Amino acid sequence: MIRDVTINDAQQIVNIYNYYVLNSIVTLDLVPFSIQDFEEKINAISSQFPFIVFEEKNQILGYAYANTFRTKPAYKNTVELTVYIDHENLGKQIGKKLYTELIMQLKKQKYHVLIGGLTLPNDASVKLHENFGFEKVAHFKEVGYKFNAWYDVGFWQLTL
C-alpha cells in the first residue's frame, strides 16, 4: 500500500535511511539521523510537498518525497525528488511504484520540472530515473567525499 507519511513513520524511515548513511554512497550524509531529526523533516516536507511511503504488513519498505530544489521564488515550480528503499527489499519494484505515485501527484499539483540528484556510480537509481524519462543534465566530478574516496554527483531532469 502506498499512503501519505505520518509522524509515526519516523522510526522506520530513519532506520531505512541510516542504513545508507552508514553503509553506502547513495547518500553523502556522514552522520546517522535521530528519530527527532526525521520527525522534523517529515513535518517540514509533508506540510508543503508530497511525502509517501510504501507499507506492507505494517512495515515501511520504502519512501519518496519531493522537496525544494532551490529557495529563490523563481524555482517554485521545480522540485527535487528523493526515494529510499529498505535495503532488504531492493529489486521488488518498490521504487518504481513510489515514483509512479509521486510523479502523478506532482503533475496534479502543476509542478513543471522534477530533479533527481544522484551520487555516482549508482546504476539502479540511474535506471529508475531514465525509465521515467529523466535525462542527465549535469555531472559534477569529485564533489563528495565519503569512506576515504571522492564521488561524483549527477543530476537528472524530467519536464512535465
Q: How are beta strands 51-56 and 59-68 bridged, if at all?
A: antiparallel
pLDDT of residue 31: 97
**Integer Cα distance of 98 and 92 in angstroms:** 11
Distance, C-alpha 60 to centroid of its chain: 15
Find the DSSP H helices in the chain.
Answer: 10-23, 35-46, 94-108, 123-131
Kindly state the percentage of the chain with pLDDT values over 90.
Answer: 100
**Integer Cα distance of 38 and 14 in angstroms:** 6
Q: What is the pLDDT of residues 40-89, one digit of tens each?
A: 999 999 999 999 999 999 999 999 999 999 999 999 999 999 999 999 99
**Integer Cα distance of 109 and 106 in angstroms:** 5
Going from N- to C-terminal start, the domains of the chain cover 2-159
pLDDT of residue 21: 98
Question: 2-159 domain in CATH 3.40.50.850?
Answer: no
